Amino acid sequence: MSDLTVIPIDTSKYALLGLTHLLKLIGSIMDEHTPEMVIMALSTMYVPRQRIDQEIRKMVIKRFEESNVFETVIPRAVAVNQAAMSGKSIFEVEPLSTSAAAFYEFAQEVKGVLSDDEEQESDAGVRERAEGS
């Protein structure tokens, strides 16, 4: 299975400023150690009503390509900040919040990506064995 790196990106201009540097750093690590690594972006602190958030999400999708951006977005919410400040998960602080639901959806989406990876590797192994016989 290839490695998966998730980059959470706040939908703010400041978050985009460091992204280029981070991607260069990850690229050099990939070149040296894990060339098969998959990099995906997750929009966080997202408010769908705010135009700037929509624009930044479009920029992220353009930069990473749509297939490498999770459909799930983590909304800007007090519950997320409370969980972070208390050192607890959102499921301990506000288990019925929209934020908790978003994190659950994100976890399901990650599972889907990882299972797709495993299926592709399994298929490749079957092809290699078939070609070798």
What three-state secondary structure class fits 91?
helix
Number of domains making up the chain: 1
- The domain spanning residue 61 has which CATH number? 3.40.50.300
Structure confidence at residue 133 (pLDDT): 47
Look up residue 35 and give its two tokens. 């060339």
Residue 117 lies in domain: 4-132
Q: Which of 26-35, 54-63, 92-101 has the lowest mean pLDDT?
A: 26-35
Percent of the chain with pLDDT strictly greater than 90: 54
Q: pLDDT tens, 74-113?
A: 999 999 999 999 999 999 999 999 999 999 999 999 999 9
Buried b (16+ CB within 10 A) or exposed e, 72-94: bbbbbbebbeebeeeeeebeebb
